[in-house]
Structure formats: structure tokens, C-alpha cells
Structure 1
Amino acid sequence: MTRYALITGASSGIGLALAEALARRGRSLILVARQRDALESIALELNQRFGVEVLFRACDLGEPLRLSGFLLELEEGDRQIDLLVNCAGIGTCGPFLAHDWSAEQDLIELNVLALTRLCHAIGNMMAVQGGGQILNVSSIAAFQPGPWLSTYFASKAYVLHFSEGLREEVKKTGIKVSVLCPGVTRTRFFDAAKMNTDTVEQSTGAMTPEEVALYTVRALEKNKAIIIPGRRNRWITRVPRLLSRWMTRKIAASINKSYCPR
């Protein structure tokens, strides 16, 4: 029976790059994102280039009812998923109190609740199948507080700690759990979050989605718990351990302000 890798946030950025990297390795895919036209085009291209089966589903995972419908389809279907990649995510930038609450709620619904629900539903399917692998996408932001991006940093800290805890819980079921923590990556994320893209362009340590994806698939094959692409990014995650909490907050605030609109 064909087994599939299900990738959320697959229409662009790291999600798309991971889809291509897995297709190159002969993996059948189920791609999920909001943009149906983009998914259809990507599925056709990957099928033609790599000869793999690529299914897709347009779904706003941040909408609980739509997510419920999607999960019901998966549960009632006969397709086995042996790799779940939770890549869908959004950010908000600027003073927390100045944001509309709806924007903050959307972030939490997608970055935290949808990811957790997918892990629960598909994790249970994997347990029945005898195993599988889950990759949750966090960020190097998860290792410190993030003034001016407070909700986003907190959501990624949740993903990191949840993934590490889940990894230990499900070992005996045959399910492997990893968490990806990339640094600044040249994607549409910054435009979508209305952030200052000039700062991203000037970042000497920024990676391409393809570089992140290549490092990630190799790390997944080794079943690494925490995947941090880039030597500079790995160093950055260690810095908060060496500094006081107040200094970490001050430095993060200074850096994050440069990303926020003036």
C-alpha cells in the first residue's frame, strides 16, 4: 500500500521546498494549503518531474471547522500517512496591544492549535499503523522571548517543547518526532507578516528554503530530535544560555524592532 507524506503550508517557502526534496526521493505526497490554484500547479509539476503521486487539499487549517472536515476525510479514507510535516504558520509584528485581537487569535489557531490537533489525529493513525514520523516546524525564535514579536516567539516555543515532550511519549509506538528550528529564511513569511523585508535582505545569515529543506531531510533520515540548519543558527540558539534573562530580552527587542514596520 502507498504511504504518503502530508505537508501543511506546502504552497510556498520551506513547505514547498520540503515537498520537492521528498518528491525527489520518491515520496508520494499530500499537500495542504489555502491556495488551491497554487497547489494544483505544484502537484502537477512534482508529478511530471519526479514521477510520484501528488495529491492536494485546499484548506484553511486555522479554521477549526474546516480542519475538522479535513481530518474526518483522512480518518475515513484508506491512505496511510507515515510522515506528517506541520509547516503552516503565520506571524504578527509590532506592539502586541496595538494588534487587532483577531490577528493574534488567527496566529494561535494555526501555529499552536491546528498543529497540535494534526499531531493528535494523525499520530493516532500512525500508532494503529505501527509507526510513522512527525516533523513540526518551529524556529530559532523558540529559544528566547521575543518582544515586538511576542505571540509568534511564544507559539514557536510551544512547538519546540511540545515536540520534545511528544517524542519521548510516543517512542514505544514506533512514532518518531522531530522539530525543525530554522533561522531567517528567504520566504514570503516576512511579507505576509508585514515585516521590514530590507532587514531580511541585509541579513548575512539568511538561508534559502531549499538549503533548509536539504539539511532537514538528511536530519530526518537520522531521526534527529532538534534540527537547526546552519552553523550560525545553532550558535544563536546557545547564546540565551550564556546571558541573563533581562539582557536576552533587551537584545531580542532591539533586533526584532528592526523587522517591524516604522
Structure 2
Amino acid sequence: MLRYTLITGASSGIGLALAEAFAARGDALLLVARRADALARVAEDLQRRYDAVVELRACDLADAAQLDAFCEEIAGGAYEIGTLVNNAGFATSGAFVDNEWDDEREMIRVNITALAQLCHVVGRRMAAAGHGQILNVSSISGMMPGPWMANYAAAKAYVLSLSEGLREELAPRGVKVSVLCPGTTRSPFFERAGIDLAKLEKEALVMTPEAVARITVGALERDVAIIVPRWYNKLLAISPRLGPRWLLRKVVGSLYKGVARPAAH
């Protein structure tokens, strides 16, 4: 039975770049995203360029019924997963209480609930088999408070903490767990969040998804626990330890407020 690399959120951004990087090294892919048409275009391209084996699964991870059905397929052995990449996610921006709760709840379902559920069902099968690798995608934002992106930063902090905990729990059972914490990366992510990337580029060094993916796949092969691409993002990652929390909140809040979606009136 083929052993797949399962990638969620694989139709654009970092997820798409990771799919290309894994295809280039010869992995069979199981790609998951909401839109079947977008996935079909990705599959066609990867098959043409890399002669890759690609299976597709259209699934809205914010929909509990769809997520449960997909997880039941995995638990039942429909797919053998060698590597799980929990990449799907999106952000909200602006003052938390001014945003629509439906949007904030959907973000929690995708960024936290779906990721944790897939870690549970796939991680259990990997532990029983005695091998496997999990990559969860967090963010530099998960390492610090994020006023005007408060719920997103909190969700990514959850991903970081869960990943580090699972790494210790699963290591004796043959399963490797890593977490990716990229900085600002050019992708459709920002448009959906209502963030003006042009403004953000004035304040931060922006990476391409392809660069993030290349660094990430290399780090996974070395079993790096926390993957932070590029030196300037590494500096951001340690910044919370260099000063008082009140100052960190002010600085990060000032940056996020300047690029966040304007409040509706």
C-alpha cells in the first residue's frame, strides 16, 4: 500500500509550495483543500512536472461533518500516511470584538480543531505502526501576543505548544513531530485576512512560499523540532525574551493595527 504525504491547505501559498517540494523528492501526495477545482489544477501540474502520484480530497476543514468523515476514512485505513502536514489555516485581523464571531469561530475550527483532530487520528495510526512524521504549521505570531490579530496569534500559540508536547510524547513510539514557524510569507493568506501586504512589506522582510518550503523539507530530514526559516525570523522568534511583555504588546500591536482590516462602522 502506498504511503502518502498528507498536506492540508495544499492549493495555494506555503501548502502548495510544500506539495511541490515533496513531489520533487518523490513522495506520493494526498492533497486536501476546500475547492476540488483548485486541487485538480495542482494535481495536473505536479503530475506533469514530477510524474507524481497525487490523490485529492476536497474537504472543508471548518465543517465538522466533513472533517469527521475524512478522519473516519483515515482511521479505517483508507490511506497509509507516512507524513502529515497540517498547513491549512487562515487569519482574521482587526479588533477581536469588532469582528464577526462566525469568522473568528471558523478560524478556530480550521487552525486549531482540525489540526488537533488530524494529529490525533493520524498520530494514533503512526504510533501503532512505530513510524511517521508530523509537521504542524504555526507562525512567528504564535510566539508573542498579537493585538489586532489576537485570535490568530493565540491559535498559532496553541499549535506551537501542542506540537512541542506531541514531539515528546510520540518520540518513544517512533513518530517525529516538528513545527514550522514562518515569518511574513507572500501568499493569498493576507488578502483573506484583510491585511495590506504592501504596508507590511515596509516593516518586515517577506519570504516566498517556495523558499519556506525548501528550508522546511531540509529541516524535516534533519528532524528539527522548531523550524524558523531565515536569520531575521530567528531574531523575531527570540525577541519576546529580550524585553518586558508590556513593551512587546505595544510594538506588535502597533505593527498589526497599521496593516489590519479597518473596523466597520
Fold match by TM threshold 0.5: yes
Q: How does 1:187-226 map to 2 (within 5 A)?
A: 187-226=187-226
Please report the RMSD computed on the Cα atoms of aligned residues, expressed in angstroms: 1.1
The SS at the match of 2:147 is coil
Please report how far the alpha carbon of residue 100 of structure 1 lies from its aligned counterpart in structure 2 after TM superposition: 1.1
The SS at the match of 2:103 is helix
Match of 2:47 in 1: 47
Please report how far the alpha carbon of residue 204 of structure 1 lies from its aligned counterpart in structure 2 after TM superposition: 5.0
Asked whether the 8 Å contact 1:35–1:58 carries over to 2, the reply is yes
Please report how far the alpha carbon of residue 239 of structure 1 lies from its aligned counterpart in structure 2 after TM superposition: 1.1
Alpha-carbon deviations, 1:119-151, whole Å to 9, x = none?
000001111222100000000011110000000
Match of 1:85 in 2: 85
Asked whether the 8 Å contact 2:4–2:79 carries over to 1, the reply is yes
Alpha-carbon deviations, 1:93-116, whole Å to 9, x = none?
001110111111101111011100
Pair 1:67-2:70 in alignment: no
Pair 1:255-2:255 in alignment: yes
Match of 2:99 in 1: 99
Please report how far the alpha carbon of residue 75 of structure 1 lies from its aligned counterpart in structure 2 after TM superposition: 2.4
Name the aligned partner's letter for residue 29 of structure 1.
L
Please report how far the alpha carbon of residue 78 of structure 1 lies from its aligned counterpart in structure 2 after TM superposition: 4.1
Q: Which runs of 5 or more residues in structure 1 are unaligned?
A: none
Q: Which runs of 4+ in 1 moved over 3 A?
A: 200-204
Match of 1:186 in 2: 186
Alpha-carbon deviations, 1:215-248, whole Å to 9, x = none?
0000000000000001100001111101101001
Q: How does 1:99-118 map to 2 (within 5 A)?
A: 99-118=99-118
Equivalent-residue separation in structure 1 for 2:171 and 2:238 (angstroms) = 27
Match of 2:129 in 1: 129
The 1:73/1:64 distance shift into structure 2, 3 A limit, reads same
Alpha-carbon deviations, 1:146-168, whole Å to 9, x = none?
00000000000010011001100
Equivalent-residue separation in structure 1 for 2:88 and 2:207 (angstroms) = 18
Pair 1:24-2:24 in alignment: yes
The SS at the match of 1:148 is coil
Equivalent-residue separation in structure 2 for 1:48 and 1:190 (angstroms) = 29
Match of 1:14 in 2: 14
Equivalent-residue separation in structure 2 for 1:107 and 1:194 (angstroms) = 14
Match of 1:235 in 2: 235
Name the aligned partner's letter for residue 116 of structure 1.
A
Asked whether the 8 Å contact 1:34–1:58 carries over to 2, the reply is yes
Please report how far the alpha carbon of residue 76 of structure 1 lies from its aligned counterpart in structure 2 after TM superposition: 2.6
Asked whether the 8 Å contact 1:104–1:151 carries over to 2, the reply is yes
Equivalent-residue separation in structure 1 for 2:207 and 2:32 (angstroms) = 24
Larger displacement relative to structure 2 (158-167 or 69-78): 69-78
Equivalent-residue separation in structure 2 for 1:172 and 1:76 (angstroms) = 24
Equivalent-residue separation in structure 2 for 1:96 and 1:52 (angstroms) = 42
The SS at the match of 1:170 is helix
The 1:78/1:99 distance shift into structure 2, 3 A limit, reads closer
Equivalent-residue separation in structure 1 for 2:241 and 2:75 (angstroms) = 43
Equivalent-residue separation in structure 2 for 1:199 and 1:33 (angstroms) = 29
Equivalent-residue separation in structure 1 for 2:192 and 2:97 (angstroms) = 19
Asked whether the 8 Å contact 1:186–1:200 carries over to 2, the reply is no
Match of 1:149 in 2: 149
Equivalent-residue separation in structure 2 for 1:200 and 1:14 (angstroms) = 18
Please report how far the alpha carbon of residue 191 of structure 1 lies from its aligned counterpart in structure 2 after TM superposition: 0.2
The SS at the match of 2:88 is coil
Equivalent-residue separation in structure 2 for 1:201 and 1:83 (angstroms) = 33
Q: What percent of counterpart residues are identical?
A: 50
